[in-house]
A and B are shown apart, each in its own frame.
Chain A
């Protein structure tokens, strides 16, 4: 397909539009802000995003250790007390009634009356050179724990799943705000123009409780929402050619469309027509590049052994391997969701002594393989990997409707939970933050969700207070009015 001249012209047009936008939108308050204006694309406010590639690679204003993020979200909130936060004192209290002082003024989702304390359900031991305590349910992770920083003092504002997942991903507990991935692709664009910049992979059979809003673009232009790729069926919606159409045929159709569009451009002189020509060509290229990237059968047997993958399934393991393939290809934000962690003990499939073990098996090998694999390829230092749920679980055993339940489980808990981070500017082999002896409150270096976001953006070279977008009369940011960077965990 030809059209070099047209594209030179397109670039000039874009430049004109851009300049004008900067001027009109008042998104610059003096020239200092202009730098950030161009960083963030500044498509906001007054003029729709005419004529501009919203995903053009933008270099961050700060020093960036991480070029991209892989975020592994465990929807339903895994219990920290069975995985990362070792509480021998709690074991001693197992089965004893919960002291009233712990219940006063607290809101619970299901606990009623006076519940009983519940000791850790699994054995812990120090692992790696760092001696980080890990549960026996994470045997693979113990091999890579020296590359990770475990944060034990996370806390959040929301204690129901949908709002808490929104809070974790958008920095706000109600619908309508952009997700982390949207903010990052808005701020930094993406490196590979033949693939979406923000890709979402879901396993566990269901989407998260808060639905697709957790990768939505909120008030940012919808172009920044996550694109869900699927490991079975069409990898991206509408990616496949219609039945009975060959790639060659598709190429010829697009060629004809673009030829006539060039004619329209001559008639109307609308720069948007040139962008459209470019987008149709990009769609054509994506039809080849996306299936290629999503095809894990191209991986050698050793890789499948490492991750525990079986091609054709939509498992967390497959998605972890895909995450590495996408990271290699320069996708900016790769978001995984794995559903099924809501261990209330209300059913066998989620109980701490039952389904929870299966969940751990499903993720332990693959998430550890991901770190190893990124590391051996030299990608870990430029890829920030984050693992965690949306809140924690109570040190009390859940007693729904005031009764002893058949299975063992814990209720929702906002005051402390554990996550880990690795690569991309994070110091490995350390633990950050402490909780009290019962694992009920963070008592040292508490980390709010806003702080996590501020730190992630910092690793990407972005000052979280400067990445803003004006909506409904005020500038918004991912960290709302809070957020501080966790200096102590930076490499």
Chain B
């Protein structure tokens, strides 16, 4: 069986390869980015790049590529392939001399491309992502049916060339559930579904209503918490508690208030440096205090302070620039034109804050719960002599009565305290090299040199029109949230080792709309995306679609991903009527099996929350880095040690065990069963009601027969808590259509 399988894969692969890349034909004009860079990146760059420059040749920078080599002749003579050493080495008859070394020779097509490119003058092009986006023209398309907005033009132009057509609009029941889960992370209400299906509630009104819901902020905060590596503990051995939740609440408010993304950026990276920074600006800076602390006895605080700064540099570049800086810690970037020194210029920007892996987390600020905060703010203002109205009574006592929490924040060192940054040789902090000044990598400055001395100037540059990446990376991130994968599938890597965008013009169109026309408004961007037909189309997929585009790169149908860890939990609680709508505050501890937290040198205990706190949305669940909430991990939530841009979705038996056996889900099923039992009418009516409550469309007669049969199965162990209706409810809450977005 196996050899046959391998052969089959091989044949299919060949078939695919032929389809995607018609070999033979040479293009009129050979482009560096389109034709040459892919060959170099795959075959040459590991020896002729940022890490190794064998024979003095590197293909990373144009000036290096055309530099005279050791024998004082450059490898590439523009316009003269015949006499260029690059061609001689590629074509060498001696396998020892032939390039690429110790590898298969280049194909004749690849060789022809390089020859033609050199003959045409060997024109260099900057990698697409480092060129600032422009407004692209909106393509005209043949298929004009159901066009929602310009997004559909870009999508259909590609579908057309792939021989595919967009699906029709999804069923209304599926569409409202999809929209509601995407915008608020929760299922719609039955009444909204009825109004929408009957036509009394329009799609646009529905979109606006969901965007205005306080649930919107909670849902998009869930996305950002992965990027912020948010957790309620410090990491490593003791993994002690710290109060970070106020930052999570800040995010909820920021998303709900539709804080423009430029301002959102400035505050989180440099809120403390903003002129007239208020408490809320300081809270935002906790973004970069989510780095880990090592409180283990006998550790070197400077070593872990540096580890935190490195994490801040890497996280910032991944989140805002889609550029991976990890490599550059130790040496120049092997694939992208970023130098080793440039890493430490960025390091210098973040190397000047007062935190230093201290046990007391300093610097921190006192924060209060959402109810207490306004009172505390006005009291503090009063105490510091700022006039407030109404004048608070007995200010001192009041302030003492409110429970204060210490939130770690960023604080810039001043004057003589400022640190000098040196390059760490090979990334080792004990081997200090040259002193460097703060600055951004030149390639990202896109030809417009900027002066950057601190975090604020850095953040301002990130959101300035000259930055080539921030808007693209962010629209791509939002796109991936709604369409399951990004236009650039490697959300974290827009560099030359990342994937090329499937729809480059659409990416730029969205980036320009978002950063210019929409003034960085996320709500406007999301509204624009969900009003496209591409979003609204059905998720059904035919054999033909699956064959032509198994990964749905061209979006001839809506994706049908499994719901995220957070939504799986929230949805079960919501449809069974258990979900608490309480917002904000210290993280809560819902049911967790006994004995999960057995940790060294710490008396921390999981103490189950009381009352409605057991049924809060998943973003309020306490996250201990060394022992995260088990059912969340099972559904691919990260442990928040580092910034994660993309969760990899898996489909495992352990997930089935969570939704079948975890007492949280069983309790939800029992509640749903109660509601079904209370529903008037026949058994069929009750079951149909429960089904519709979960997935919002009418139950098919076949499914109804199956569930009625399940209900009527004799249950041999009488007296158990699992009633016949609970059996049915458990089944409903485990259906594929319940666990996925259709």
Is A22 a contact of B9 with CB atoms below 8 Å?
A: yes
Contact mask A249-266 → B, CB, 8 Å, 1/0? 110111011011101110
Given A46-B489, A238-B657, A211 and B625 touching (CB < 8 A)? Answer: yes
Flag whether A125 is at the interface (Cβ < 8 A): no
Given A24-B551, A244-B722, A473-B326, A209 and B540 touching (CB < 8 A)? Answer: no
Is B636 a contact of A221 with CB atoms below 8 Å?
A: yes
Residue on B with the closest CB to A216? B639
Flag whether B278 is at the interface (Cβ < 8 A): no
Q: Which residues does chain A contribute within 8 Å of B734, judged by CB atoms?
A: 253, 257, 280
Q: State A230–B594 Cα separation when bound (angstroms).
A: 11
Q: State A283–B104 Cα separation when bound (angstroms).
A: 46
Q: Which residues does chain B contribute within 8 Å of A225, judged by CB atoms?
A: 633
The residue from B541, B633, B637, B655 contacting A269, defined by CB atoms under 8 A apart = B541
Flag whether B595 is at the interface (Cβ < 8 A): yes
* Stretch in contact with the other chain, from A13-21, A113-121, A378-386, A452-460: A13-21
Flag whether A273 is at the interface (Cβ < 8 A): yes
Flag whether A206 is at the interface (Cβ < 8 A): yes
Is A268 a contact of B560 with CB atoms below 8 Å?
A: yes
Is A19 a contact of B13 with CB atoms below 8 Å?
A: yes
B633-683 residues at the A interface, CB under 8 angstroms:
633-634, 636-639, 641-642, 646, 648-658, 660-663, 666
Q: State A263–B492 Cα separation when bound (angstroms).
A: 37
Is B300 a contact of A107 with CB atoms below 8 Å?
A: yes
Residue on B with the closest CB to A261? B736
Is B648 a contact of A221 with CB atoms below 8 Å?
A: yes
Q: Which residues does chain B contribute within 8 Å of A473, judged by CB atoms?
A: 324, 326-327, 335-336, 492-493, 495, 497-498
Q: State A272–B650 Cα separation when bound (angstroms).
A: 10
Contact mask A283-322 → B, CB, 8 Å, 1/0? 1001100000000000000000000000000000000000
Contact mask A158-183 → B, CB, 8 Å, 1/0? 01111100000000001110000000
From A13, A239, A270, residue with most partner B Cβ within 10 Å: A270
Flag whether A208 is at the interface (Cβ < 8 A): yes
Is B327 a contact of A474 with CB atoms below 8 Å?
A: yes
Contact mask A333-368 → B, CB, 8 Å, 1/0? 000000100000000000000000000000000000
Is B16 a contact of A19 with CB atoms below 8 Å?
A: yes
Q: Which residues does chain B contribute within 8 Å of A48, judged by CB atoms?
A: 484-485, 646, 648-649
Q: State A187–B613 Cα separation when bound (angstroms).
A: 42
Residue on A with the closest CB to B650? A223
* Stretch in contact with the other chain, from A25-33, A127-135, A443-451: A25-33
Is B627 a contact of A212 with CB atoms below 8 Å?
A: yes
Flag whether A184 is at the interface (Cβ < 8 A): no
The residue from A234, A261, A272, A339 contacting B600, defined by CB atoms under 8 A apart = A339
Q: State A272–B334 Cα separation when bound (angstroms).
A: 37
Is B598 a contact of A246 with CB atoms below 8 Å?
A: no
Is A26 a contact of B42 with CB atoms below 8 Å?
A: yes
Given A280-B734, A473-B326, A211 and B493 touching (CB < 8 A)? Answer: no
Contact mask B540-560 → A, CB, 8 Å, 1/0? 111100110011010000001
Is A109 a contact of B298 with CB atoms below 8 Å?
A: yes
Is B742 a contact of A474 with CB atoms below 8 Å?
A: no
Is A161 a contact of B660 with CB atoms below 8 Å?
A: no
Residue on A with the closest CB to B702? A263
CB distance from B196 to the nearest CB of A (A): 20
Is B700 a contact of A269 with CB atoms below 8 Å?
A: no
Q: Which residues does chain B contribute within 8 Å of A196, judged by CB atoms?
A: 654
CB distance from B654 to the nearest CB of A (A): 7
Q: Which residues does chain B contribute within 8 Å of A234, judged by CB atoms?
A: 593
Flag whether B583 is at the interface (Cβ < 8 A): no
Flag whether A205 is at the interface (Cβ < 8 A): yes
Q: Which residues does chain B contribute within 8 Å of A16, judged by CB atoms?
A: 12, 546-547, 550
Contact mask A231-248 → B, CB, 8 Å, 1/0? 001101111111111101
Residue on A with the closest CB to B669? A242
The residue from B10, B541, B626 contacting A270, defined by CB atoms under 8 A apart = B541
Q: Which residues does chain B contribute within 8 Å of A271, judged by CB atoms?
A: 546
Q: Which residues does chain B contribute within 8 Å of A8, judged by CB atoms?
A: none
Flag whether B402 is at the interface (Cβ < 8 A): no
Q: State A286–B121 Cα separation when bound (angstroms).
A: 64
CB distance from B44 to the nearest CB of A (A): 12
Name 10 A/B residue pairs within 8 A (Cβ), A-sorted. Answer: A16-B12, A108-B298, A222-B636, A233-B594, A238-B593, A249-B722, A260-B731, A282-B656, A339-B600, A412-B298
Residues of A within 8 A of B (CB): 13, 15-24, 26, 29-32, 34, 38, 43, 45-51, 54, 107-110, 159-163, 174-176, 196, 202, 205-213, 216, 221-223, 225, 227, 230, 233-234, 236-246, 248-250, 252-254, 256-257, 259-261, 263-265, 267-273, 275-277, 279-280, 282-283, 286-287, 339, 412, 470, 472-474
